[in-house]
Amino acid sequence: MNKEMDLKAVVGDLRDGMTIGFGGWGPRRKPMALVREILRSDLKDLTLVAYGGPEIGMLCAAGKVKKLMYGFVSLDAMPIEPYFRKAREAGAVEVSELDEGLLLLGLQAAGHNLPFAATRVGLGSDVMKYNPHFKTVKSPYDDGEVLLAMPAIKLDVALIHTSRADRLGNTQTDGPDPFFDGLFARAADKVFVTTEVLVDRIGDEYSDKAKSNLFERCLVTGVVKAPLGAHPTAAHDAYGWDMGHLKAYAASATEEGGWQGYVDQYVKGDEASYIASVGGEAQIRALPLPIF
């Protein structure tokens, strides 16, 4: 069994109109190498599901998005992702704006093969109004409470960046917070992971870190070696986010032809040329992890 693939092969497996979920959280641990490969492709009409960061903004800027389902789309220090904002204000994409917890519950329901998750979250707010397909359900027990039936969010594909992986599909993810990568993996028909470090059998070399495994290898379809593949987002404990790069990216959103300029400068080539264009490996590895 060898699940190793390259970026091109993964994107070759994706189809127009697919629903794609992204691991990570805001500008943290996003599978950006795969995002850039999608940017280099003809894929379109995608539905994206995320606790979003620059992956959402970039794919919106490139016109590849039909619909967004999100808890937020943020670059943290820049609270609103600039190209997401542009796409929203232009009315360019359909949106399903969710409470962050509803996104969790929808993914969880999908992963457990359930049609919905019962919750109070969303009731009384405009989440119901702007997701008019959401329905309520009445508790069959004595309390009879009316709850929101959060529909399962089934993904065609989840794309997730990890710290280490092996060719069998086992993964390990460092950092203080696993976020919801496990839920994204379980909600998807296929999971493709990128990884900082790829080995044959992870237990042979990183047995002591098995607790950092967030989802089982049976969920993983393909593994791509993509060191620095989360740049410009943070990948604990390897490197922090590149706020200088993110600021320049954000500034491009306010410039005429800004997105095309960004693509020409950074995305057009391959990952090797990308890494060189943003300062090279040593500079990326020296990016400090954020503190709060």
Partner 1 sequence: MTTAKEFTLAELIIATGAQTWAADGEVLATGIGPLPRLAAGLAKLTCAPGIMMTDGEAYLVEDPIPLGPRGDYKPKLSGWMPYSRVFDSVWSGRRHAMVTPVQVDRYGQGNISALGGDFKKPKVAMLGVRGFPGNSICHKNSMFLPNHSKRTFVEGEVDVVASVGYNAKNWPEGAKPADVKLGVVITDLCVFDFNGPDHAAQVLSLHPGVTFEQVQEATGFPLLRAEGMTTTAAPTEEQLAIIARLDPHNVRATVLKGNPAGVRAA
Which residues form the interface with partner 1 (CB under 8 A)?
A: 25, 70-74, 79-80, 84-85, 88-91, 94-95, 97-102, 104, 119-130, 136, 138, 145-147, 176-180, 291-292
CB of 21 to partner 1, least distance (A): 16
Torsion of CA 127, 130, 134, 140, to 10 degrees: 40
CB of 109 to partner 1, least distance (A): 15
CB of 129 to partner 1, least distance (A): 8
CB of 94 to partner 1, least distance (A): 8
Closest to partner 1 by CB, 180 or 274: 180
Six-digit token string for 71: 């808890």
Closest to partner 1 by CB, 259 or 266: 259
Question: Exposure of 259 by Cβ count < 10 A (0-12 exposed, 13-18 middle, 19+ buried)?
Answer: buried
Closest to partner 1 by CB, 179 or 259: 179
Closest to partner 1 by CB, 1 or 291: 291
Closest to partner 1 by CB, 51 or 274: 51
CB of 103 to partner 1, least distance (A): 10
